[in-house]
């Protein structure tokens, strides 16, 4: 299997499993990732998702370059990887990339499609596509600019240079560095899962919507989401648990 999935303590871990080729992403990997997403979406025991790569060398070293020679206009228009990463970005459950080693090209774009990124000290991020006379076409041009700013994104894309974990944290590409990124991502996921599930889902939706719309539209969506949450049982439970100084027992309703 090119993708392995496990669920424990409410957290699904999705592992790219091609360590012999630094977890390079080919069509089979894309198919298996989409299937894994479908299973997790329907699994009530999985409240959050951690993506990582098998082995210690790479999270994912990009697309499988061997197939690039045969790509055509139609391959670009089909945009299979970009469409899948859009699904990951819009996924209803929180997503965290635990980046171990290299995250290059499509691997870096996969990490950027996740809500949060945690890197090992050895992690390296890069979008080297221009060396092949193509560009980061799985969302890289758009997501990197939103994460680190337009000027820095253009510099990284045009030069194709890699950024180490420390630089990635400094420029906002990752939110933290951990010796054991999968364990750290699991801990972070469990922290999120202790919050109100409706609030978590809507907060993610509002932030994502606001990034693709104007400020006014984002504020309107925020207002509507808050109004909806005010009608929920979980809002009442959260307030009562806080006042009683006890853990909340959220039901997602």
Q: What is the pLDDT of residues 27-43, one digit of tens each?
A: 999 999 999 999 999 99
Nearest Cα to Cα of residue 138 among 74, 94, 88: 88
* 3-state per-residue secondary structure call for 229-246: HHCCHHHHHHHHHHHHCC
Q: Return the CATH number at 209.
A: 1.10.12
Q: 76 pLDDT band (50/70/90 cuts)? A: confident
Q: Which of 39, 56, 89, 109 is catalytic?
A: 109
Query: Is 109 a catalytic site residue?
Result: yes
- Asked if pLDDT for residue 69 goes beyond 80, the answer is no
pLDDT at 83: 96
pLDDT at 71: 84
Query: Is 155 a catalytic site residue?
Result: no
Q: Return the CATH number at 114.
A: 3.90.226.10
Q: Which of 39, 56, 89, 129 is catalytic?
A: 129
Count: domains in the chain: 2
Q: Does residue 250 lie in a domain region?
A: no
Q: What is the mean pLDDT of residues 48-65?
A: 90
Asked whether residue 148 falls in the same domain as residue 222, the answer is no
Asked whether residue 141 falls in the same domain as residue 230, the answer is no
Tell which wins on pLDDT, 185 or 75. Answer: 185
Domain with 202 in it: 197-244
- Asked if pLDDT for residue 77 goes beyond 90, the answer is no
Measure the CA–CA gap between 32 and 139, rounded to whole angstroms. 20
Q: What is the pLDDT of residues 205-253, one digit of tens each?
A: 999 999 888 889 999 999 999 999 999 999 999 999 999 999 998 988 8
Question: Structure pTM?
Answer: 0.93
Say what the alpha-carbon torsion angle 193, 199, 202, 208 is, to the nearest 10 degrees.
-70
pLDDT at 186: 97
């Amino acid at each position: 299997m090119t993708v392995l999935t496990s669920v424990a303590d409410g957290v699904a871990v999705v592992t790219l499993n091609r360590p012999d080729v630094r977890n390079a992403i080919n069509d089979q990997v894309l198919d298996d990732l989409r299937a894994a997403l479908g299973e997790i979406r329907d699994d009530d025991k999985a409240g959050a998702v951690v993506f990582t790569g098998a082995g210690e060398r790479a999270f994912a070293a990009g697309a499988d370059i061997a197939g690039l020679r045969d790509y055509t206009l139609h391959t670009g228009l089909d945009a299979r990887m970009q469409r899948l990463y859009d699904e990951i970005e819009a996924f209803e459950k929180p997503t965290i990339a635990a980046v171990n080693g290299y995250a290059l090209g499509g691997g870096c774009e996969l990490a950027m499609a996740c809500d949060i990124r945690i890197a090992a000290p050895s992690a390296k991020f890069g979008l080297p596509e221009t060396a092949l006379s193509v560009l980061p076409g799985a969302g890289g041009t758009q997501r990197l600019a939103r994460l680190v700013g337009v000027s820095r994104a253009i510099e990284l894309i045009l030069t194709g240079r890699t950024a180490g974990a420390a630089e990635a944290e400094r420029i906002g590409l990752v939110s933290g560095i951990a010796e054991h990124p999968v364990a750290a991502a699991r801990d972070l996921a469990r922290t999120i899962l202790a919050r109100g599930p409706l609030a978590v889902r809507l907060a993610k939706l509002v932030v994502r919507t606001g990034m693709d719309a104007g400020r006014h539209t984002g504020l309107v969506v925020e207002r509507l989401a808050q109004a909806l949450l005010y009608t929920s049982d979980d809002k009442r439970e959260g307030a009562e648990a806080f006042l009683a100084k006890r853990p909340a027992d959220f039901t997602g309703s």
